[in-house]
Each structure stands twice: as C-alpha cells, then as structure tokens.
Amino acid sequence: MNEQALLSTPPRYSRLLWPLMAALLIIGWSSGFVGIRYASEEASVALLLFWRTLLSGLILLPFALAFGPRLRWRGILEQILFGVMSVFLYLGGFALAIEQRVPTGLVALISDLVPLAIAALSQPVLGEPLSRRQWLGTAIAVSGVLIVSFDSLSFGKAPLWAYGVTVGSMLVFALASVLYRRRRTEPMPVHQSLCIHTLTGALLFGFCAMLQGGLAPPMTQDFAIGIAWLVLIATFMAYGIYYTSLRMFPVAKVSAAIYLSPPVTMLWAWALFSEPLTMAMFVGLAVTLAGVWMTSRD
C-alpha cells in the first residue's frame, strides 16, 4: 500500500482503526518505563540503549532485506538521519539528563510535551493547522499531564545545560516527527525504516558505551527481561505503530495520544511494582482523556 492510499483511508475505516491504534500506541509508549525499571539497575544507560537498539535492528534486518522494495542509498541515508534524531538524540538526550541528576519526574514531564511541540510545528512545516477546539483540547491535555506529574516534580541541582538537553531532546523528536510526515522520497515500509533507525542508534550508543567501559551485557534475569520488554513492546510496538499512524492520520492527532502515557505509566507501576495510586492520578487521567478526545476527534 503506498503513501497516497494510506492518506486516503476511507472515514468508515478510520473511525474504527484510529481508536485501536491509539490504544496500542499508548500501551507501547508508556511501557518503556517497565523495561528500564527492570534493566537500569544492571547496566549504564548507554549500555542499556545499545542492546535495546542492536537487538531490535538485528531482529528486523532479515525482514528488511527480504520483504519490501529494494533499499536505495538515498532512502537509507534519509532514514539514518531520522534514526539519529528520533532514537539517538531523543532517547540518549533524556538518558544523559537523568545521569546528570535532572529529576526523573521533570524529564518525564518534558518528554510528554512532545505533542505540544508537534502541534506548534504542524502549521509552519506541514500546513496542518489546529482548530480552536484542538488547541483547547491540547491545553486541557497538558493540564492533565501536569496534574498527574505534580507530586513527582522537582527541579534538582543538575547543571543548567542538562535541562537544556532535556528540552532539546523533546524538540528534536517533535521536529523528526513532522519531517517524517513531510518527507518527499518514496515512502519506505515501517519495518525497513525502523530497522535502519535502530541500527543507527546501536552504532552511536555502542560508541558511547565503549567510552564508559565496554559492551558486554550483564548476564542477569532482570536485564534480560528488561531488554526483551524494551525491544518487543517499547520499540516494535510503540515506534512501529507511531510511524504507521503518521502515514495515515494528521501528525497532531497521532501525537496527542502520547499525552496519556504518564497516567498509563503509573498504572503499569501499580500493576507490576505495587506503586501506590493517588486521587490526583485519576483526576489527571480524566482531564487528559477529555483533552485528547477534543484534539483527536474529526
């Protein structure tokens, strides 16, 4: 199916397809916390991200070579650029900020403001302006995210540049999302583009991990569980559905679903790690749901 066919998906299918894809996107996007929770105690962030991206790319490689159009250098180089932006700079920037002691709650809040940056870029870059209702929905969704994140917010004592890295990582991913939607070359199937993105990230994260001591993974059960979770759910499910959705729906509509990742992340933490739920989380979830509905509905 080519790009034009995807963009012209009949409304009767879109009404059923988008809620399902949005639900899977939210589950996948918020699940990254689970894998990191399992594996981060066993290895440095660079080593963790190296094995996450390397295994993801190697699993996808035979499918990328066997299925889909022939890979051409122009398309490969374009996807390498997206890999640098949406994998290495995005994930690596937040990881670096956390290592520099930027509070995790603040990092999570800034990362979840990606849809706001995408909404701001949609008009000048894509010519996809948001209506007044969508801007109102965006404001409501951001309010919900703030309610959910309020208890964990602090500013810490990290160096000033580390806070800039946090904001910059969020803006880089937002820019990569709108450029991915705008690209002029022949669209590449998601399994091929994601393979290139992850292998690009693996090369760069591997270099960083080498500087920190080596590439050997910890041979522990928690690290194995964390990496498997990050590869299968947080990479294949989250990134795969995100890139597929960008081809089929307006970028602001797709990104708005990410606003729901903070409350869903806290549900993951409650279900798997027995972390307490508070009334503020449920209030924030309800407010965020209302904002996402206003932003996403046709």
| pLDDT tens-digit series, residues 141-183 | 878 777 776 665 556 677 878 888 888 888 888 888 888 777 6
Distance CA 243, CA 236 (A): 10
pLDDT for the residue numbered 206: 93
Check whether 10 has a pLDDT greater than 50.
no
Tell me which residue of 252, 228, 194, 185 sits closest to 3, measured CA to CA: 185
Check whether 3 has a pLDDT greater than 50.
no
Give a yes or no: residue 3 inside a domain: no
**Region 1-24 average pLDDT:** 62
Phi and psi (nearest 5°) for 112? -85, 0
Q: Write the CB contacts of 83 (distance below 8 Å, at least 6 apart in sequence).
A: 196, 197, 198, 199, 200, 201
Check whether 1 has a pLDDT greater than 50.
no
pLDDT for the residue numbered 84: 92
Neighbours of 214 (CB within 10 A): 10
pLDDT for the residue numbered 8: 44
> Range of 114's domain?
10-296
DSSP category for residue 9? -
**Region 111-139 average pLDDT:** 76
pLDDT for the residue numbered 296: 67
Give a yes or no: residue 4 inside a domain: no
pLDDT for the residue numbered 188: 83
Work out how many domains the chain is built from and give that number. Answer: 1
Give a yes or no: residue 5 inside a domain: no
Give a yes or no: residue 117 inside a domain: yes
Give a yes or no: residue 291 inside a domain: yes
**Region 231-247 average pLDDT:** 88
Give a yes or no: residue 14 inside a domain: yes
How far is residue 71 from each of residues 2, 85, 86, 175, 199, measured CA to CA in Å?
Answer: 16, 20, 20, 24, 15
pLDDT for the residue numbered 207: 92
| 118 contacts 174 by C-beta, under 8 angstroms | yes
Residue 187: both structure tokens together: 């669209």
Radius of gyration (Cα) for the chain, nearest Å?
Answer: 19
Give a yes or no: residue 162 inside a domain: yes
Give a yes or no: residue 1 inside a domain: no
